Amino acid sequence: MENLRIDISNVYGFIPEEEILSLSQKTRKASQALENKTGKGDDFVGWVTLPSSIAEADLKDIEQTASRLRKEIDILVVIGIGGSYLGTRAVAEALSHTFLHLKKKTENPLILFAGQNIGEDYLNEMLEILEDKRFGIAVISKSGTTTEPAIAFRILKERLEAKTGKKKARELIISITDATRGALRTLAIQEGYKTFVIPDDVGGRYSVLTPVGLVPLAIGGFDIRALVAGAQAMEKRTLSDVPQAENPAALYAASRFLLYLSGKKIELLANFENKLHYLAEWWKQLYGESEGKEGRGIFPASVDFTADLHSMGQYIQEGERSLMETVISVKEPQTLLRIPEDQDNFDKLNYLSGKRLDAVNKMAELGTMLAHVDGGVPNIRIELPKLNEYYLGQLMYFFEKACGISGYLLDVNPFDQPGVEAYKKNMFALLEKPGFEEQSRKMKERLSSH
Ligand code: PA5
């Protein structure tokens, strides 16, 4: 069985190989701290052993719920924000037919996402689409109190109840939340929704392998056992006793950390398979929320190539030299398409006749890598044999483990997100939420003085 591979040889022109290797004690210590729960934020490292500890009974429970719901709905609306939706979206978009929504017949329910923004038109347009569709809801919130998903749920729940009646709606709503706390838990008990628990010791952005990701993905028809199996394989490959040179998570964490210290403050996650767009969104949250604190941290950004080579390419090649690039490359596409011969050859493309589109894509990737390295952008390459659940499981766990190690190398707590509260406090004050009277008064004073 092939595996995810990491290639850091295009970092060596910027950071000598020996220097990266000399970090191996530190990456091992960081990894041990994660595994032994002795580092910063140690009460949130339940995700480290999630793949190997998922119980068969829990998987069965998820699969049973999924198979019941799949018979009754055409659309599943996943309500959640941040870590409560990005993992599901990353996997679903990577593995779905790009034009699934335009297909006449699909064997799986279509997944739509709500509660990740407060756009009035967005939700109204979704309601319009749902009007004549059989739909269900997976409402996901660990705290059970996050404003954006709570608003979306209130609106969608009302619509579903109006459509099917309260009793039936209760069967079509699945809640995924904390074991004991939060408004969603209270409501779920009161209404009798089928409920799955988000473990206490797993934070939102590390939760894709909990019911947060597994339940909606199973309803959407994805192979969650393969996803877990991929993560299990990667859990073994990234254990602290695996030497750094053979340990993809340690290699990645060490390389990007040393690049950061050398002035490469921005990491671009690039793909040449645009189905990975939301994988990058998931990765940005994972790394941005884990590292960006105490005035430190690599800024995670992302690009879809080759499209963005025609918009961001100029800056990447010649702008400020504070970039590093991590490319996710998929070795083998799922389908095959060759470029046809054209007798007239007006477009002068006959030199490509008979070649697979993917062969052109791969040369674009290689050419881009060489150009960017020549232009001062170090390159880390991560190769997936294929896009499927198994390799996505490997990839996501790899990124999680490397992120934990990275946070410890940076000496921050990779499992909190105190900075997320700032906008919420202002918003609540502006909306005059009960309990925020004093902040509301100050906010009004501040705004009237402008
Ligand atoms: O990673 C995190 O903890 C956050 O992004 C949360 O997932 C996000 O804020 C949603 O929180 P909740 O699941 O409590 O609604």
Q: Both 262 and 382 in a single domain? A: yes
User: Quick one: pLDDT band at residue 1, thresholds 50, 70, 90?
Assistant: confident
User: Quick one: pLDDT band at residue 108, thresholds 50, 70, 90?
Assistant: very high
Q: Both 246 and 118 in a single domain? A: no
* Identity at 224, one-letter amino acid code: I
Q: Both 50 and 35 in a single domain? A: no
Contacts of 33 (CB under 8 A, 6+ apart): 39, 42, 408
Q: Both 181 and 255 in a single domain? A: no
Q: Which CATH number characterizes residue 307's domain?
A: 3.40.50.10490
pLDDT tens, position by position, 160-214: 999 999 999 999 999 999 999 999 999 999 999 999 999 999 999 999 999 999 9
Using most ligand atoms within 8 A of CB, pick from 86, 113, 142 the residue to mutate for ligand 1: 142
pLDDT of residue 450: 74
Q: DSSP secondary structure string, 98-139? A: TTGGG-S--SSPEEEEESS---HHHHHHHHHHHTTS-EEEEE
What is the percent of the chain where pLDDT is above 70?
A: 100
pLDDT tens, position by position, 241-260: 999 999 999 999 999 999 99
Arithmetic mean of pLDDT, 424-450: 90
Q: Both 67 and 203 in a single domain? A: yes
How crowded is residue 191: how many other Cβ atoms within 10 Å of its Cβ? 15
Strand partners, 267: 300, 324
Annotated catalytic, 2? no
User: How many Å lie between the centroid of ligand 1 and the Cα of residue 114?
Assistant: 14
Query: Which residues have CB under 6 Å of ligand 1?
Result: 81-84, 141-143, 146, 149, 203-205, 289, 417
Shortest CA distance to 3 belongs to which of 242, 282, 291, 255? 242
Answer whether residue 415 is part of any domain.
Answer: no
Which residue is catalytic, options 167, 310, 348, 450? 310
pLDDT of residue 90: 98
User: How many Å lie between the centroid of ligand 1 and the Cα of residue 420?
Assistant: 9
pLDDT of residue 421: 86
Tell me the Cα Rg of the chain: 23
